[in-house]
Amino acid sequence: MYSHGIHAGAILTIDLGAIRDNYLALRERVGAAACAAVLKADAYGLGAAQVAPVLAAAGCRDFFVAHLDEALALRPLLQDADIYVLHGPMPDTEREFVEHNLIPVLNSPAQLAGWRAAAQRAKRRLPAIVQIDSGMSRLGLTPAEFTAWIEEATATQRIELRYLMSHLACAEKQDHPLNCQQLDAFNAARARLPGCRATFANSSGTFLGEAYRFDLVRLGAALYGITPVAGQANPMKPVVRLQARVLQTRTIERGDHVGYGATYCALGHRRLATLAVGYADGWMRSFSNRGCAMLDGVRLPVVGIVSMDTCTIDISALPADRLQPGDCVDLISAEQPVDAVAALAGTIGYEILTSLGNRYQRNYLGAPAEEPVRLSQAA
Ligand SMILES: *Cc1c(COP(=O)(O)O)cnc(C)c1O
């Protein structure tokens, strides 16, 4: 276990062993398809520099990030792995992809042209994934652009096409009609590139059945403990625990207000604790009067508006003196998992994790003991 920030107001514990176990469980589940790990946004806020070596040691050979800079940061940690960049090259960045052996996802005719020109300069075929839009209207070639591309005589000549790719819009809702529609569109495109390997499913898509898995699935959320199927029990191991420290406690009486805007008014005697965590730490302002902390199985509701650096909870349900300054309560835990926390804030687990701040004491569990985990940002 490696820690930094031991004076922090809150403690973020990330279970790297659980991430590895989630990866292995998903690999078991998908059978023949290969399992790529998605490490964009610093591995969903959990620390790409810590997560990447653990997954590589578990046998993962394919990694996706969103930005070129994220790929450049990972390259030294993942010497033999394939690193794919979802956004593809911004204009005039192809050279860096080639230099660092990074594989772009090409999403537009302009990116295709740029990569072909880079291949010409390099005097060799360069690897790439080509993404088509199968119904999300976000990134990828339109059907007309795809047709124009494959009808061009030189279509794949200079590009070593690793995978044809697309992305699902509603995969976590198993009965959503768009899932089948996107699958049909993707299969129709694949049929025009015989022999080409394919990658389609994210974590949730992996749970839609074998037809969605193809040759490579791209796993993000489920690795990090977020539930892949809406409305069902979460099969993944929890990865994150967030504990906040108490700064001070107080009692208030009927008619007293709490926090900015005086949005909470006590109906009677209450005991409160002020926690050293706020929206600057990713404990979102939308938890105001809605979220809760947990301790000893007792729910401790957030009262008033969440401030930048503090938030106040009602601890009246606990025995007097149970909480002292410096003691911790749980904000995210097995009892109140990230998906439940997200629901309270009207968001999704992805946003909770990627919002986690930089002021926490970060503890990594399950990292190789002999090798202290290095932090991506200088601590
Ligand atoms: C983020 C992302 C993924 C991973 O999705 P999860 O739902 O986190 O598994 C896969 N593919 C693409 C294109 C993505 O942007």
| Residue of 23, 40, 84, 279 with catalytic role | 40
Concerning whether 84 is annotated as a catalytic residue, the answer is no
- State the alpha helices, DSSP H only, in the chain: 16-30, 40-44, 48-57, 68-74, 94-99, 109-122, 143-151, 177-190, 203-206, 338-344, 349-355
**Residues framing ligand 1 (Cβ under 6 A):** 38, 40, 86, 167, 202-204, 218-222
| Probe target for ligand 1 pocket from 27, 202, 354, with the most ligand atoms within 8 Å of CB | 202
Closest ligand 1 atom to the C-alpha of 131? Answer: 13
User: How remote is the CA of residue 136 from the centroid of ligand 1, in Å?
Assistant: 13
Nearest to 221 by CA among 172, 283, 187, 274: 172
* 3-state secondary structure (DSSP) of residue 318: coil
Residue 237 annotated to the active site: no
Calculate the average pLDDT of the chain. Answer: 94
State the closest ligand 1 atom to the C-alpha of 223, by its place in the atom list counted from 1: 9
How many whole angstroms separate alpha carbon 105 and alpha carbon 169? 18
Enumerate the H helices of 177-252 as residue ranges.
177-190, 203-206
Q: Which of 268, 267, 317 is nearest to 292 (CA)?
A: 317
Distance 39 CA to ligand 1 centre (A): 9
Gap from CA of 194 to ligand 1 centroid (Å):
25
Write phi, then psi, for 165 (nearest 5 degrees).
Answer: -130, 150
pLDDT tier, 7 (very low <50, low <70, confident <90, very high otherwise): confident
152 pLDDT band, cuts 50/70/90, is confident
Residue carrying the six token digits 């000549």: 157
Which sign, positive or negative, has the C-alpha torsion 167, 171, 175, 176? Answer: negative
Question: Cα of 208 to ligand 1 centre, how many Å?
Answer: 15
Residue range 184-223, pLDDT digits in tens: 999 999 999 999 999 999 999 999 999 999 999 999 999 9
Given the DSSP bridges, would you call strands 159-165 and 2-4 parallel, antiparallel or unpaired?
Answer: unpaired
Q: What would the mean pLDDT of 163-188 be, rounded to a whole number? A: 97
Q: What is the tens place of the pLDDT at every residue in 44-98?
A: 999 999 999 999 999 999 999 999 999 999 999 999 999 999 999 999 999 999 9
Q: Which of 330, 321, 343, 341 is nearest to 298 (CA)?
A: 330
Mention every residue, 6+ apart, whose C-beta is less than 8 A from residue 156.
193
Q: Please compute the mean of the pLDDT values over residues 159-169 and round it to a whole number.
A: 97
